[in-house]
Structure 1
Amino acid sequence: MKITEFMKSKKGASGIGTLIVFIAMVLVAAVAASVLINTSGYLQQKAATTGKESTEQVASGLQVISVLGKPSGSAIDRVAVLVSPNAGSGAIDLSQATFSITDGTNSYIQKYDSTAYASAAGADLFADAVYWTGLATTSTEFGIAVVQDNDGSVKAASPVLNKGDIVAITIVDGTTLDLSPRTEVSGKIQPEFGAPGVIAFTTPATYIDTNVIELQ
C-alpha cells in the first residue's frame, strides 16, 4: 500500500515538472510572437515611408517650358526660364534650388534672391516689362516672376511650386556671360530633391532691336 502511494506521488511530481516546462515554453513563444509582430509592424511602416519618399524622389522635379531672352545691343543680357513641376511631383521650394549656367567659357551657380520677385500673372510673355525689371543683378543670384499660381504658394519669402504653378526663373547677364550671337548655352535648375530642369540652346545668328526672343 505504501509502495502504491509512493508511485502515485512520484507521478504527480513528474506531472508538475512537465506543466512548468510547458508554461515556460508558452511564455517564451508569446514573447517571441510579440517581438515578431512589433518588428514586422515597424518594418511595414518603414517600408511604406521609404516607398513614398522614393516615389516622390523619382517623380518630383522641374520641367522647362521655354527659355526667353531679351537682347541689348549685340548680346542678350536678360534671360527668363519658364518652369513648372513634373506630373506627380511633390511641392518644390525654389529658395533651396540652384541655377547653373555656362556659355562654354564662363560658368555660374546661382541661388534665389528674394528681393528679385515679381508677380507676372496674365502678362504677355514676350512684351510685358514685368519679366525684365527688378531682377537679380549679380552672377550669384536669380529672380522669380510668377506666371501662374492659383493657390498663392509662390511667395517672395518662400516660393513653393506645386501642381499647376508656372514661374519664370530670371537672370540678368550684364558682363558675366557671353550671350552674343551663335553662342552655345547650357545649364540646369536643380531643386532640393528630384530631377532638374535642363536648358540647352544656341543663341540666334543676329538680334533685331530689343524684341524678346524664344531661345528654347
Structure 2
Amino acid sequence: MFEFITDEDERGQVGIGTLIVFIAMVLVAAIAAGVLINTAGYLQSKGSATGEEASAQVSNRINIVSAYGNVDTSGSTEVVNYANLTVRQAAGADNINLSKSTIQWIGPDTATTLTYDGTTADAENFTTNSIKGDNADVLVDQSDRIEIVMDAAEITTNGLKAGEEVQLTVTTQYGSKTTYWANVPESLKDKNAVTL
C-alpha cells in the first residue's frame, strides 16, 4: 500500500515540491486577506463620508424668520418690487455662507435660479444685508440675522401683484433646502411694505 522511496535524490524532490505548493497557498491566502482588508477599509471610509454629508444636509439648514415686500406705488397699480427674507441658522447648524447658496424662484410667470451678488439684486442675482451680526453673507451664530434681497420687479414681469404667490427654495452650500411660500396680500393700496 505504501511505497517507500529509497533513493535519496527522489525523496528530496518530493519534499521540495510539497514545500513550493505550501508556500504558494500561503501567498495566495495572504494576497486574498490583503484585498479583503483594503476593501473593508475603503467601504468604511466611504460610508463615514456619506454619513457626514447626509448629516450636513439635514442639520446645516437655515430658518426663514420673516418675509416682507416693498410696495411700489408709482405705477398705475401697486406691486411688490422687492421681496426680502430674514434668515438665521437652524438649530445645530454650522456656519452657512449665503454667497455660496442659490434661491429657486417659482413665481406667477417666471421660474429661475438666483445666485449671490454682493452688490445688487437683479433678474439673476440676490444680495444680502446684515441685520444682526458681523457678516453680511455668513451666518455664524444662531443669533445672527441676514436679510436676503430679491428684485421682484426684475425677476417677474413688472413685480408681484396683489394676490400672487412665489415659491422660494433656498439651497445652502451643504445641499440642504428650505422652502418658503411668499403670498402677496389681496390689497396693496396705501401700503409701503407688506408681509409676504
Partner of 2:127: 143
1:49 corresponds to: 49
Aligned 1:44-83 pairs, distance under 5 A: 44-73=44-73, 74-83=78-87
Map 1:115-154 onto structure 2 (within 5 A). 115-116=119-120, 136=121, 138-149=122-133, 152=134, 154=135
Displacement of 1:96 in angstroms is 3.1
Show the counterpart of 1:84: 88
Range moving further from structure 2, 85-94 or 37-46: 85-94
Correspondent of 2:139 among 149, 161, 164: 161
SS of the residue aligned with 1:25?
helix
Asked if the contact 2:126/2:149 (under 8 Å) is kept, the reply is yes
TM-score by length of 1: 0.68
Partner of 1:125: none
Please, which runs of 5 or more residues in structure 2 have no aligned partner?
none
For the residues of structure 1 that align with 2:26 and 2:111, how far apart are their CA atoms?
70
Ranked by relative contact order (alpha carbons within 8 Å, sequence separation 6 or more), the top structure is 1
State the identity as a percent.
33
CA deviation after TM superposition for structure 1 residue 81, in Å: 0.6
Task: Give the superposition deviation at 1:169.
Answer: 0.7
- What's the C-alpha RMSD, in Å, of the aligned pairs? 3.0
What residue identity is the alignment partner of 1:114?
G
- The gaps in structure 1 that reach 5 residues or longer are 117-135
Q: 1:197 to 1:11 in 2, by over 3 A?
A: same
Distance 1:27 1:110, change over 3 A: closer
Q: Offset at 1:102?
A: 4.5
CA distance in 2: counterparts of 1:178 and 1:207, whole angstroms: 12
